């Protein structure tokens, strides 16, 4: 399968989108070009505010601006939006339910920056915060159409964003819809629920699984809070051999935990396997290397499906390689900071 | 100082005295209160509310509303305690109070200036009331939630920046306590306010040199405070926080950078027996009937 590669999907799209929205401001913490808003700054210099490496104050100033009717869009790496300034995010922004947009880049193991740069528990922490809405985009179409969806939310929003060379998996005509999963395939053996970059990775394995006679219902989830889409409940009920979740995050508190909660609350009895970081920190290396090392890749998914259906599927690594759509996961392309 | 300044100073003195008296009365009847904060900040807060802040009147003193719930996602219609400061208008000032544990003192100031009903303190720390012990944004006189200290200066900087973008003439004032200069966020805010040229931002600090554990110089010193703030490019005035004329003069200073007024204060001013509690003055709770009687005596003298 091969997808169109979109270079810097956020950069020009965000400029065009913000043109007729004078209330939209950008606050940046010294990672402006790294978050594809350097050109935005040059286009709208009066609406761009450099906050320096000072995220705690950035949260407070964003809160003050939002109280006055502006809509600040904070751009920095995911990890810097919630770890150090968590109290400020909670008391200055989340408690008063202000319209602040936290656009977080390089979530999970997408950065070679190592443990200090890897947001592996952001969803877990932010899901527990009242008034928060959490989105995670899985392709260029979602990276571009999430803006409208976030803009409409009358409260704080955290977005796990993609940058750089990003696949367009979903047609431009099928934009991000609030709290609605995308049904990528339907089947009765396995229900597979994926988010973010895990979706593209899973799509490498699913056709091979189906060719081996495993029918898979595959949902891509891009709204992680609220997590109340009835399609998710229906898909979970249909799984005969088990449920598998797959995410670029700790298995604790993220998509896998959200699915477990929904299953328990709805009395859905099926074995659940969660693919994600198994309660561990990671280290600095390429995305491809880390996905293999921590078993977040298509090969890991195949193994979990084999456990669920109770038989070997004889899918060779070379077959998975052939399904690799593009070079985003190749070791040749190391993400710069 | 203008011609009618003497009258204003007398009114401020009267309000300051009323703040101490009300907080003492409340502390006695409730066997506890943030008393030293009233002693240190009485002139500072009364000068703000009477002589400095450009606020609209509220008509009749407002009855504090019951707590109706926390802010929720939706159109931003939450009624904050800023209603006690009058209407929000481009040409009017705003006051963001940072040390939320000064709530009792701020409520007393609101009563003394006719913005909160006289019986408002009867709701203090009562279940279901907005007149909370540690003020939040629903509490009278509060507009933001600042009980986790040192967040108000950043919040107010955002408000000041928004007002600068819109070209509003009103100033944004922040009332701070000196302990907040131990928090790193304060210095992030100082550098950002100067960097973004927030000359409409005015900060007034109760430098009472006392905190929860005791005297600040035994807990974590913040001196030389004025030099620190000047180093960030701010205009700084250092004054006696009980000198009303000095506070008013400092408030009128014209600057093209953010301005900070450091009011050095005495945490037992107007209530000398409080010094017996030294070195820990943060919260007054009587340890004996005898001590309580001494404070009742002091209250009687205060009401003469």
Q: Which residues of B touch A99 (CB under 8 A)?
A: 76
A173 domain residue, yes or no: no
d(CA A50, CA B108): 40
A177-204: buried (b, 16+ CB within 10 Å) or exposed (e) per residue? ebbebbebeebebbbbbbbbbbbbbbbb
Low-confidence winner among A317-331, B113-127, B178-192 (lowest mean pLDDT): A317-331
| Residues A281, A109 contacting (CB under 8 angstroms) | no
Q: Which residues of A touch B185 (CB under 8 A)?
A: 56-57, 60, 88
Query: Quick check: A331 pLDDT over 60?
Result: no
A145 domain residue, yes or no: yes
On whether both A139 and A11 belong to a single domain, the answer is yes
Q: Do A54 and B73 touch (CB under 8 A)?
A: no
A327 domain residue, yes or no: no
Q: Which residues of A touch B137 (CB under 8 A)?
A: 96
pLDDT digits (tens, 9 = 90+) for B49-63: 999 999 999 999 999
CATH number at residue A32: 3.40.50.970
Domain of A48? 4-168
The total domain count for chain A is 2
A278 domain residue, yes or no: yes
Query: Quick check: A333 pLDDT over 50?
Result: no
Query: Quick check: A336 pLDDT over 90?
Result: no
CA of A254, closest CA in chain B: separation in Å? 22
CA of A133, closest CA in chain B: separation in Å? 9
pLDDT digits (tens, 9 = 90+) for A36-90: 999 999 999 999 999 999 999 999 999 999 999 999 999 999 999 999 999 999 9
| Residues A150, A135 contacting (CB under 8 angstroms) | yes
pLDDT digits (tens, 9 = 90+) for B210-240: 999 999 999 999 999 999 999 999 999 999 9
Mean pLDDT of B291-299: 95
On whether both A25 and A157 belong to a single domain, the answer is yes
On whether both A197 and A106 belong to a single domain, the answer is no
* Best A59, A96, A99, A150 residue to mutate vs chain B (most B CBs within 10 Å): A96
The pLDDT assigned to B77 comes to 83
Mean pLDDT of B118-146: 95
Percent of residues in chain A assigned helix, strand, coil, to nearest 5: 40, 20, 40
Closest CA to B141 of B119, B109, B180: B109
Window 32-51 of A, Cβ < 8 Å to B? 46, 49-51
The pLDDT assigned to A337 comes to 63
Computed over every residue of chain A, the mean pLDDT equals 95
Q: Residues of chain A with pLDDT > 90: what percent?
A: 94
On whether both A228 and A290 belong to a single domain, the answer is yes
- Residue B202: burial class (beta carbons within 10 Å; 0-12, 13-18, 19+): buried
pLDDT digits (tens, 9 = 90+) for B142-194: 999 999 999 999 999 999 999 999 999 999 999 999 999 999 999 999 999 99
Domains of chain B: 5-64+80-302 (3.40.50.970)
Query: Quick check: A20 pLDDT over 90?
Result: yes
Q: Which residue of B has its CA nearest to A84?
A: B185
The pLDDT assigned to B5 comes to 87
A176 domain residue, yes or no: no
Q: Which residue of B has its CA nearest to A70?
A: B162
Q: Is A331 helix (H, G, I), strand (E, B) or coil?
A: coil
CA of B120, closest CA in chain A: separation in Å? 24
Complex prediction ipTM? 0.96
The pLDDT assigned to A322 comes to 83
On whether both A69 and A148 belong to a single domain, the answer is yes
Query: Quick check: A226 pLDDT over 90?
Result: yes
Please give the helix or strand (H or E) that residue A43 lies within, else none.
Answer: helix A38-43
On whether both A70 and A207 belong to a single domain, the answer is no
On whether both A160 and A305 belong to a single domain, the answer is no
Q: Which residues of B touch A62 (CB under 8 A)?
A: 158
Q: Residues of chain B with pLDDT > 90: what percent?
A: 94
Closest CA to A122 of A222, A290, A228, A250: A250
CA of A54, closest CA in chain B: separation in Å? 6
Side by side, which strands form the sheet with A133-136?
A: A48-50, A24-28, A71-77, A101-105, A157-161, A133-136, A223-225
Q: What is the distance between the terminal CA atoms of chain A, rounded to a whole angstrom?
A: 29
Per-residue pLDDT band for A334 (boundaries 50, 70, 90) equals: very low
Per-residue pLDDT band for A330 (boundaries 50, 70, 90) equals: very low
Mean pLDDT of A265-277: 98
On whether both A21 and A91 belong to a single domain, the answer is yes
pLDDT digits (tens, 9 = 90+) for B55-94: 999 999 999 999 999 999 998 789 999 999 999 999 999 9
On whether both A164 and A17 belong to a single domain, the answer is yes
């Amino acid at each position: 399968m091969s997808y169109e590669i979109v270079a810097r999907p956020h950069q020009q799209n965000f400029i065009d989108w913000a043109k007729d929205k004078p209330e939209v401001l950008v606050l940046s913490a010294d990672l402006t070009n790294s978050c594809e808003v350097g050109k935005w700054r040059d286009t709208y210099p009066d609406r761009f505010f450099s906050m320096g490496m000072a995220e705690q104050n950035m949260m407070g100033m964003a809160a003050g601006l939002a109280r006055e009717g502006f809509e600040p869009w904070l751009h920095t790496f995911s990890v810097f939006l919630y770890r150090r300034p968590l109290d400020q995010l909670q008391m200055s922004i989340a408690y008063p339910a202000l319209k602040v947009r936290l656009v977080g880049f390089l979530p999970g193991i997408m950065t070679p920056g190592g443990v200090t740069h890897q947001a592996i528990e952001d969803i877990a922490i932010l899901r527990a915060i009242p008034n928060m809405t959490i989105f995670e985009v899985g392709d260029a179409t979602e990276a571009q159409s999430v803006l409208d969806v976030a803009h409409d939310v009358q409260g704080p929003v955290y977005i796990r964003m993609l940058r750089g060379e990003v696949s367009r998996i979903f047609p431009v005509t099928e934009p991000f819809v609030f709290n609605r999963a995308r049904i990528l395939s339907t089947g009765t053996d396995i229900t597979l629920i994926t988010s973010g970059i895990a979706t593209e990775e899973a799509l490498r394995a699913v056709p091979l699984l189906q060719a081996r006679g495993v029918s898979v219902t595959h949902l891509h989830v891009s709204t992680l809070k609220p997590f109340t889409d009835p399609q998710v409940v229906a898909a979970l009920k249909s799984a005969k051999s088990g449920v598998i979740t797959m995410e670029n995050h700790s298995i604790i508190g993220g998509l896998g935990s959200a699915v477990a909660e929904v299953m328990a609350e709805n009395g859905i009895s099926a074995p659940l396997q969660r693919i994600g970081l198994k309660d561990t920190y990671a280290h600095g290396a390429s995305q491809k290397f880390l996905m293999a090392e921590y078993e977040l890749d298509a090969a890991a998914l195949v193994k979990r499906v084999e456990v669920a259906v109770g038989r070997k599927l004889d899918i060779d690594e070379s077959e998975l390689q052939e399904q690799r759509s593009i070079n985003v996961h190749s070791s040749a392309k190391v993400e710069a900071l | 100082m203008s011609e009618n300044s003497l009258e204003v100073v007398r009114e401020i003195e009267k309000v300051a005295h009323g703040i101490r008296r009300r907080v003492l009365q409340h502390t006695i009847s409730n066997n506890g209160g943030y008393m030293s904060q009233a002693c240190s900040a009485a002139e500072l807060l009364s000068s703000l509310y009477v002589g400095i802040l450009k606020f609209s009147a509220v008509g009749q003193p407002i009855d504090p509303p019951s707590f109706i719930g926390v802010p929720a996602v939706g159109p931003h219609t939450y009624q904050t305690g800023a209603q006690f400061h009058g209407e929000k208008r481009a040409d009017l000032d705003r006051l963001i109070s940072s040390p939320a544990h000064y709530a009792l003192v701020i409520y007393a100031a609101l009563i003394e200036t006719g913005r909160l009903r006289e019986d408002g303190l009867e709701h203090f720390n009562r279940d279901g009331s907005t007149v909370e012990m540690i003020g939040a944004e629903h509490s009278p006189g509060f507009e933001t939630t600042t009980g986790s200290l040192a967040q108000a200066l950043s919040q107010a900087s955002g408000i000041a920046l928004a007002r600068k973008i819109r070209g509003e003439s009103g100033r944004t004032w922040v009332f701070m306590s000196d302990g907040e200069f131990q928090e790193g966020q304060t210095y992030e805010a100082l550098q950002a306010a100067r960097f973004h040229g927030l000359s409409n931002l005015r900060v007034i600090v109760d430098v009472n040199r006392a905190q929860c554990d005791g005297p600040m110089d035994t807990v974590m010193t913040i001196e030389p405070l004025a030099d620190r703030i000047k180093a960030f490019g701010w205009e700084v005035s250092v004054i006696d926080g009980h000198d009303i004329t000095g506070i008013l003069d400092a408030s009128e200073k014209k600057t093209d950078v953010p301005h900070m007024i450091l009011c050095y204060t005495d945490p037992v001013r107007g209530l000398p027996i409080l010094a017996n509690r030294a070195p820990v003055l943060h919260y007054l709770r009587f340890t004996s009937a005898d001590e309580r009687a001494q404070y009742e005596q002091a209250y009687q003298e205060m009401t003469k």
